[in-house]
Amino acid sequence: MKLRTSALATATALGLALTGMAWAEPVEDTLTIETDDGQITMVTTAPAPAHLSDVMDTIYSGWHFRDAETRAMQMDDFDNPGMVFVDRGLDAWNAALGKNGESCAGCHQSPESMAGLRAVVPRVDEKTGKLMLMEDYINSCVTERMGLEAWGMTSKSMKDMLALISFQSRGMTVNVATDGAAAPYWEKGREIYYTRYGQLELACANCHEDNYGNYIRSDHLSQGQINGFPVYRLKNAGILSAQQRLIGCVRDTRAETFKAGSDELKALELYVASRGNGLSVEGVSVRN
Amino acid sequence: MTRQVILGATLSALMITPSLAAEIAPTDVTYVEGAIEASLTGVPGDPVNGKKIMTTRALGNCVACHPISTMPDVPFHGNIGPELNGAPDRWTEAQLRGIVANAKMTFDGTIMPAFYKTGTFIRPGAGYTGKAPEGPLSPILTAQQIEDVVAYLMTLKE
């Protein structure tokens, strides 16, 4: 800290631009979670995927950047307030919600049939060629197979279900596709990631690539990974989806945000997910 | 407070009152190697108000990024930017005015926002609402607020 300040002062005196100077100090710790079925150890630190090799060597879960108390809450399902939402999702899964009494369980059996899905979504659907968020998959069943109005992208029902479905992939390795049919969406997401939006003219990369490890006011900046989503956010005492987090971060640049489920935010979610290829799916994780 | 700011901006845009008429609008500012020689208002800055602006989120929010050791009473300083104590030992008043108004003129591509700029932005919003602005944008800080901040920075000689 001391050293950095003087280094900065010297460099600024020389008129050098200092963006790109990361001061990484993620906490060294291991995330082993006590679950009903024993312990799972998460991969929270991994070599950066090849597409990031120019900008970073190592990727870190956001868990490493939270304080000890918040980290601890995620280390035991009993203490993780997000589990309530997984349970609520399970109730909805089994309920005869459909127009003709259909339930998710009726067609998909146990939610465990969804294991592995969170790790590869967002992805381009083979049949339709469309980029699909988990929310889109859920809504296609809700509307086409259960005869209901679509659930709001950030509604309680949607987020409960996101929690339940993510939970089935906990500990599996994030591995979203960036090539093939996904390539144009991924490129678009990448462009958004590096665009300096809003009156503050800040890109995602300014904070989460150039400055992770640093503090912005009281917030310890992480790499902005989404492997932990949806997260239980202590501040809101509720579940926050990745789409909501992206919206919040765009808004905080004094920008006009994008809507949840818009083409832009779908592409951005795919791209951000791909920056975490190699980390474990952690949702539901805990954040302050 | 918000109302005063908006009023101030409107008045200065219309150039109604004589004292405000002397103000240099964001689009009329001349930067010489990043520095702004003359005061933006001709009215001396108020360092006490400057400090307030620097610690208020919706205004300067400088502490979000800068440690400022002369403000131990303010909790949680960020460390994205350098310590500001001693800034006037490194920069002249004109350079500091330029840095606060638009730091990009001094530090190419810096993360530090431009506080006295009205365009061009990509998808600017109405403050932190996430909505599109209604009508033209005001700079984040008014001309006098820039002068107030510069006045506070000038007190930071080590």
Residues 15-44 of chain B with CB under 8 A from chain A are none
Domains and CATH numbers, chain A: 7-14+24-79+176-287 (1.10.760.10), 83-167 (1.10.760.10)
C-alpha distances in Å from residue A28, one per residue of A65, A74, A207, B35? 9, 15, 21, 43
Taking residues A251-280, report their average pLDDT: 98
Q: Is B141 on the interface with A (CB under 8 A)?
A: no
Taking residues B58-86, report their average pLDDT: 95
Q: Which of A215, A253, A257 sits opposite B78 (nearest CB)?
A: A215
Q: What confidence score (pLDDT) does residue A94 get? A: 98
Cβ atoms within 10 A of the Cβ of B65, count?
21
Q: What confidence score (pLDDT) does residue B7 get? A: 42
- With a cut of 50, say whether residue B54 has pLDDT above it: yes
- With a cut of 50, say whether residue B18 has pLDDT above it: no
The alpha-carbon gap from B67 to the nearest alpha carbon of chain A, in Å, equals 9
Residues 44-103 of chain B with CB under 8 A from chain A are 61, 63-65, 67, 75-83, 86, 90
- Over residues A34-84, the pLDDT tens digits come to 999 899 999 999 999 999 999 999 999 999 999 999 999 999 999 999 999
Burial of A168 (0-12, 13-18, 19+ CB in 10 A): buried
The better pLDDT of the pair B20, B16 is held by: B20
Inter-chain CB proximity B82 and A201 less than 8 Å: no
C-alpha distances in Å from residue B121, one per residue of A199, A251, B109, B114, B136? 6, 14, 14, 11, 12
Q: What confidence score (pLDDT) does residue B5 get? A: 44
- With a cut of 70, say whether residue B131 has pLDDT above it: yes
Neighboring chain A residues of B79 at a CB cutoff of 8 Å: 1, 4-5, 23, 214-215
The better pLDDT of the pair B6, A20 is held by: B6
Q: What confidence score (pLDDT) does residue B158 get? A: 87
For residue B81 the two structure tokens come to 């930017």
Q: What confidence score (pLDDT) does residue B20 get? A: 54
Q: Which of A9, A199, A214 sits opposite B80 (nearest CB)?
A: A214
Mean of pLDDT over chain A: 92
- The reply to whether ipTM tops 0.90 is no
Q: Is A210 on the interface with B (CB under 8 A)?
A: yes
Inter-chain CB proximity B78 and A214 less than 8 Å: yes
CB A256 within 8 A of CB A162: no
Q: Is B136 on the interface with A (CB under 8 A)?
A: no
The better pLDDT of the pair A285, A12 is held by: A285
Q: What confidence score (pLDDT) does residue B119 get? A: 84
- With a cut of 80, say whether residue B2 has pLDDT above it: no
Inter-chain CB proximity B113 and A210 less than 8 Å: no
Q: What confidence score (pLDDT) does residue B21 get? A: 56
Query: Rg (Cα) of chain A, in Å, rounded?
Result: 19
Nearest chain A residue to B114 by CA distance is A200
C-alpha–C-alpha distance, residues A28 and A258, integer Å: 35
Nearest chain B residue to A216 by CA distance is B78
C-alpha distances in Å from residue B156, one per residue of A205, B76, B85, B98, B124? 31, 19, 5, 17, 33
Domains and CATH numbers, chain B: 25-153 (1.10.760.10)
Q: Is A7 on the interface with B (CB under 8 A)?
A: no
Q: What confidence score (pLDDT) does residue A33 get? A: 96
Q: Which of A1, A195, A250 sits opposite B79 (nearest CB)?
A: A1
Taking residues B123-139, report their average pLDDT: 95
Whether omega before A143 lies within 30 degrees of 0, making that bond cis, reads no
Inter-chain CB proximity A197 and B123 less than 8 Å: yes
- With a cut of 70, say whether residue A1 has pLDDT above it: no
Taking residues B63-81, report their average pLDDT: 95
pTM: predicted TM-score of the whole model, two decimal places: 0.92
CB B46 within 8 A of CB B148: yes
Q: Is A108 on the interface with B (CB under 8 A)?
A: no
Q: Is A193 on the interface with B (CB under 8 A)?
A: no
Give the residue numbers of A annotated as catalytic, written as ranges: 249
Taking residues A129-138, report their average pLDDT: 97
Neighboring chain B residues of A12 at a CB cutoff of 8 Å: 82, 90, 107
- With a cut of 80, say whether residue A24 has pLDDT above it: no
Q: What confidence score (pLDDT) does residue A4 get? A: 34
